[in-house]
Amino acid sequence: MTPSLFLVAHRGDHEHEIENTLAAFDAAAKAGALYIECDIQFTKDFMPVIVHDSRLETGRVSELARNELPPHIPTFDAVLKWLEHSPAITLFIEIKLPVLQRRSARSVARTLHTMIPEPLLKRIVPISMSAKLVEVCSREFNGSAGWVMESGRSPEGPFTYLFFPWQNSDQARQWHHRGVKTVAYTVNSPEQASALHAGGIDLIETNHFSRLQRALQKSGSTPK
């Protein structure tokens, strides 16, 4: 199987680029990625931006305006414009938990949903550690949502993807009978990636998409 069919570029391909930037997403797309994952935090004025950490050197993202953030941090709107020109990409957007201290899950889901142009909706999958947020996003996005299985209760009702630390692969496989696709993170070893996928895990997240893809292609160890 072609590695790009099951590899997810975790925060883009940050082999040579800063993670969660347009440059990292572009590098992944040019290397052949079909799946990219990124993180969303909200600024003081409730603008969604692409950054993993809630606290930066200059302060908390939630206490800073957009123009107070480092210039390499893109807005969600900028990523949507980029995605319009990258038609092969499915984008997983992980909504980080701090925003739920300020707004309801419904408000967050609706804010993001209304920003996304209709042609892109089928290519964007909201994911979160919050079961409540996954439940709301699943309704708002017509069933397409993912749960990051790290803590707390599991979502009630259906969702599409289960994201989990690769060490928990045995537990994650139990979700297959519910029609849920499994996504293991974060895997940078070709041997580990091949073994996980051969063992039934649907998608594998990696920090180094281009490097891992080359290694898997060279070894010829990807499952058929």
Whether the pLDDT of residue 220 is over 90: the answer is no
Residue 15 lies inside a defined structural domain of this protein: yes
pLDDT, one tens digit per residue, over 135-182 is 999 999 887 899 999 877 999 989 999 999 999 999 898 999 999 999
Residue 104 lies inside a defined structural domain of this protein: yes
Cis, peptide link before residue 114, omega less than 30° from 0: no
Q: How confident is the model at residue 213 (pLDDT cuts 50, 70, 90)?
A: very high
Whether the pLDDT of residue 221 is over 80: the answer is no
Whether the pLDDT of residue 224 is over 60: the answer is no
| Contacts (Cβ under 8 Å, ≥6 apart) of 111 | 46, 48, 103
Whether the pLDDT of residue 222 is over 80: the answer is no
Residue 113 lies inside a defined structural domain of this protein: yes
Domain of residue 215, residue span: 3-219
Q: Which amino acid does the sequence have at 92?
A: F
* pTM confidence score: 0.96
pLDDT, one tens digit per residue, over 92-112 is 999 999 999 999 999 999 999
Residue 143 lies inside a defined structural domain of this protein: yes
Give the domain CATH number at 179: 3.20.20.190
Spatial CA neighbour of 169 closest among 181, 155, 156, 184: 184
pLDDT, one tens digit per residue, over 20-71 is 999 999 999 999 999 999 999 999 999 999 999 999 999 999 999 999 999 9
- Classify each residue of 103-137 as buried b or exposed e, where b means 16 or more C-beta atoms within 10 Å of its C-beta: eebeebbebbbeebeeeeeebbbbbbbbbbbbbbb
Number of domains in the chain: 1
Which alpha helices (DSSP H) does 104-189 contain, by range? 105-115, 131-140, 169-173
Residue 141 lies inside a defined structural domain of this protein: yes
Residue 224 lies inside a defined structural domain of this protein: no
Q: CA 26 to CA 106: how far, in whole Å? A: 31
What value does the mean pLDDT take over residues 105-130? 97
Residue 36 lies inside a defined structural domain of this protein: yes
Residue 145 lies inside a defined structural domain of this protein: yes
